Structure 1
Amino acid sequence: MKAASIIIGLISIILVDFIVFKSIDGKKKYKLYRIQLSLVVHALLFTLSRYFWRRLSPLAHSKSVAGLLWRIFLLTFFVMSQMGPIFSFYNTKDPMSVACFAWICCASELLLFFVVGLLDLLCFFSKYTKVSKSFSRTDGCMWTCVIVTILYTSFGYFNAMSPPTVVRQTIPIAKLPKSMDGMTIALLSDIHLGSTVGFTMMETAVKITKALNPDIVVLAGDLTDGSVEELKEAALPLKDISAPYGSYFVTGNHEYYTSDVENWMELLESFGFHVLHNSNLRIHSKSNKNDWFCIFGTDDKQAELIGYEGHTVNLTKAFSGCDEHHAAILVTHQPNIAKRALNMNIPLQLILSGHTHAGQIFPFSIPVYLGNPFYSGLYHYDSKRYVYVSQGTYFYGWPLRTGSYNEITKITLKSL
């Protein structure tokens, strides 16, 4: 029954998104959507908690002190797991420790489900794997699953809390003027200011970016998971970013989840960023004003999906003002839009994206890989067109990363 209720809840999200939400203003609908999604997530977590309580609570003798402490630990763990998504509604300048702990518990429970499920699957196919069908029900097996999950979660946490790694790429750009050969771009994406990323981590990312001395800074969406009122202070280090040829921003899907995208665009403009709102700018060489290339950007696909007033993906409008005789670089948050631009044969040379986080946590990375035409890193699409997808400067929600890492990319443009 509980599994059925979760399935019904997921179907209701889809139906509401495509039927009911069509009649609701884009600025309001995601407040309702987040509440609905939260209820479905809590139904899932509650079901998992009951399942694991039955399997884990007998691991220590119920009448012993150790058994009592074990049950108190489990109860605390399951309650905190339920609290993780709730903290997405409460954002502060720097994350609260209790919020980070709750998100870790939430991720750990999902990872434990994967570990136990994998073992159960091996036991189900026991005649092929030589694993006893009864093995997964033994105390030793369950303790092993718990320990593996704790170690995996710990590794993911320390990896996620490490400063962003600088990834260096050199990309040949056709039609780039010789006078602009060697120009550098610092690419940031998916910072996700919110309940687990705040001022201190933002300050670290800005210091790393400034130390790279880039000619251009690009912020490719998903800066925030909250409103300007909540997170303006956390974003303040961005004021210190400056680049000789400018700093540029495009929206990501999470900007629209906040229902505060216009205020974020206004704030970033006050910080000195050029917001590429289906628009472009020509970047002229300082040594020869007749030499230039075009940087253009779009709103995120999410605006298109929800009908957010005044926002959509308009590649034709974004490119208008650029031309086929000069190099052009597109900044768009989602790789799906990068693929759309390539299919439209817009005369561009490079696309900068983010969004995927390189899956952030294995095994949840599998559907991310399958659901995006470009997953992570540099893609040489054809003879003269490239796509680069950042893993993200930080992470969303769960302060864990496995199979991926925090990234700031320094791209050097080479003239052909």
Structure 2
Amino acid sequence: MHLRKRRKRKGILFLFILALLFGLYLYKENTTIGVTFVEVKAAGLPESFNHFRIVQLSDVHDSEFGDNHLELVNKVKILSPDAIFITGDFIDRNRYDLEQSLEIVKQLQGVAPFYFVTGNHEISTNDVERIKKELVELGVHILTNEAIMIDNEQGEQIAVGGIEDPLSSNLDEKEYVEQVLDNTFKDVPNDIYKVLLSHRPEQFEVYVDRQIDLVFSGHAHGGQIRIPGIGGLVAPGQGWFPKYTSGVHELDKTSMVVSRGLGNSIVPLRVFNRPEVIVVTLKIN
């Protein structure tokens, strides 16, 4: 009887230690930032843009990353990007704190040009014009169903376009993306390398159909809970066991980079799904 009690106590202690270690692991996974390095072989990329480096920040959701976002800011500075892309949900409609997120941009002034597109959270605040105005005042390029050219010293160019999140329209999501993409690159010559910022990865087939060279997306939060060997568990717009939650997806001439994002929204916890900064280096194919 005494031996049985000792075994029971040991079992309870083991489970307690196991739960404590898992809790510490989850805390670390949700409060520290990883950096993911990606190389994209880019057919049609001008030679002078070989090794062009892009940092992608997605789905910040008004999260904090140390005092004045020091952890995030220092990681980005060390990476020495040529451009910084913010691919939507920079703020969170449930704990809206624009000044807190703007501090990231303020701390990274002068590091590289910023390019921004809205996500569903910006639209749903009903404060999107103020958000854009504040970002413009900090020198951020706002891309609202339009493309601009990035020129370099060698006189070569690539086009960077961005589309407003579909929540801004009453149209079906796929129909909306088709329509605005036709408009976004209408003035860009066919032989120019085209980069698209679009919050929603589930529209990958539309991006492929419109022959976009490279897409940067987010929204899926990595599937929130990542199951080893399987991938993400659930994502908005894709449902259970979503296809596009992380990494690089390729079809025909189109590559799409999907960020797991940095923050959380309604679901406050990630599992096996560390917040990430993505660094994409373009390489001539």
The residue aligned with 2:245 is 375
Inter-partner Cα distance in structure 1 for 2:239 and 2:123: 24
In the alignment, does 2:25 pair up with 1:160? no
Residue number in structure 2 paired with 1:324: 190
Counterpart-to-counterpart distance in 2, 1:227 and 1:300: 18
Higher strand share: 2
| Aligned partners of 2:57 and 2:277 also within 8 Å | yes
1:402 aligns with 2:276: no
Distance, in Å, in 2 between the alignment partners of 1:373 and 1:198 is 29
- CA drift at 1:333: 0.6
Deviation per CA, 1:305-343, whole angstroms, max 9, x where unpaired?
A: 589xxxx6411111122221111011101102333222x
The alpha carbon displacement at 1:158 in A equals 1.9
In the TM superposition, 1:67-78 aligns within 5 A as none
Give per-residue Cα distances to partners, 1:208-261, cap 9 Å, x unaligned.
112211001101111101499843144223123246762100001111222211
Select the structure of larger CA radius of gyration.
Answer: 1
3-state SS, counterpart of residue 169 of structure 2: helix
1:380/1:188 CA distance change after superposition, 3 Å: same
The answer to whether the Cα contact below 8 Å between 1:205 and 1:393 also exists between their aligned partners in 2 is no
Q: 298, 304, 315: which one pairs with 2:169?
A: 304
* 2:220–2:260 CA contact under 8 A, matched in 1: yes
Q: 1:245 to 1:212 in 2, by over 3 A?
A: closer
> Post-superposition shift, 1:203?
3.8
1:283 CA drift (Å): 0.9
Quickly say closer, same or farther: Cα 1:242–1:201, change in 2 above 3 A.
Answer: closer
Q: Partners of 2:95 and 2:14 in 1: how far apart?
A: 45
Who is 1:385 aligned against?
254
SS across alignment from 1:315 = helix
Matched residue, 1:293: 158
Contact 1:215 1:245 in 2 (8 A): yes
Q: Is the 8 A contact 2:145 2:162 kept in 1?
A: yes
The one-character-per-residue Cα deviations of 1:152-184 (angstroms, maximum 9, x if unpaired) are 44422221111x211111111111111111111
State the SS of the aligned residue for 1:156.
helix
Residue in 2 aligned with 1:47? Answer: none
In 2 relative to 1, CA 283–181 (structure 1 residues): closer, same or farther, beyond 3 Å? same
Q: Specify the SS of the correspondent of 1:320.
A: coil
TM normalised by structure 2 equals 0.81
Q: CA deviation at 1:191?
A: 0.6
2:119 corresponds, among 228, 246, 252, to 252
Partners of 1:215 and 1:394 in 2: CA distance = 24
Structure 2 counterpart of 1:340, from 201, 206, 218: 206
TM value normalised by structure 1: 0.57
Q: Which runs of 5+ in 1 are unaligned?
A: 1-140
| Structure with the larger RCO, 1 or 2 (CA within 8 Å, 6+ apart) | 2
Aligned positions, number? 267
Q: Distance in 2 between matches of 1:398 and 1:154?
A: 18
Q: Which residue of 2 aligns with 1:261?
A: 128
User: Residues 231 and 389 of structure 1: is their aligned pair in 2 closer, same or farther, counting only changes over 3 Å?
Assistant: same
Q: Is residue 239 from structure 1 mapped to residue 109 from structure 2 by the alignment?
A: no
> Are the counterparts in 1 of residues 53 and 282 from structure 2 also a CA contact under 8 Å?
yes
Among the aligned pairs, what percent are the same residue? 27
User: What amino acid is the match of 2:248?
Assistant: L
The Cα shift of 1:394 comes to 2.9
Per-residue CA distance 1:333-373 (angstroms, 9 max, x = gap): 1102333222xx22321111011111223579423275544
Between structures 1 and 2, the one with greater helix share: 1
3-state SS of the aligned residue for 2:88?
coil
Q: Does 1:184 align with 2:50?
A: no
Which aligned pairs between 1:13-162 and structure 2 lie closer than 5 A?
152-162=22-32
Contact 2:68 2:104 in 1 (8 A): no
* Cα distance in structure 1, aligned partners of 2:191 and 2:109: 29
Partner residue, 1:112: none
Q: Deviations over 1:88-132 (max 9, x none)?
A: xxxxxxxxxxxxxxxxxxxxxxxxxxxxxxxxxxxxxxxxxxxxx
Q: How many angstroms does 1:301 deviate by?
A: 2.2
Instruction: Work out whether 1:220 is the aligned partner of 2:87.
Output: yes
| Contact in 2 for aligned 1:217/1:243 (Cα 8 Å) | no
Partners in 1 of 2:191 and 2:166 — Cα distance? 28
CA contact (8 A) 1:360 1:405 kept: no
Read off the aligned partner of 1:400 and give its amino acid letter.
L
Q: Give the SS at the match of 1:214.
A: coil
Q: Is the 1:153–1:400 contact (alpha carbons within 8 Å) kept by the matching residues of 2?
A: no
- CA-atom RMSD, angstroms? 3.2
Kept in 2: contact 1:214–1:243 (CA 8 A): no
Partner of 1:174: 43
More deviation, 149-158/168-177: 149-158
1:356-400 deviation per Cα after TM superposition (whole angstroms, max 9, x unaligned): 111223579423275544221011223x32111011123335553
- SS of 1:186's partner is strand
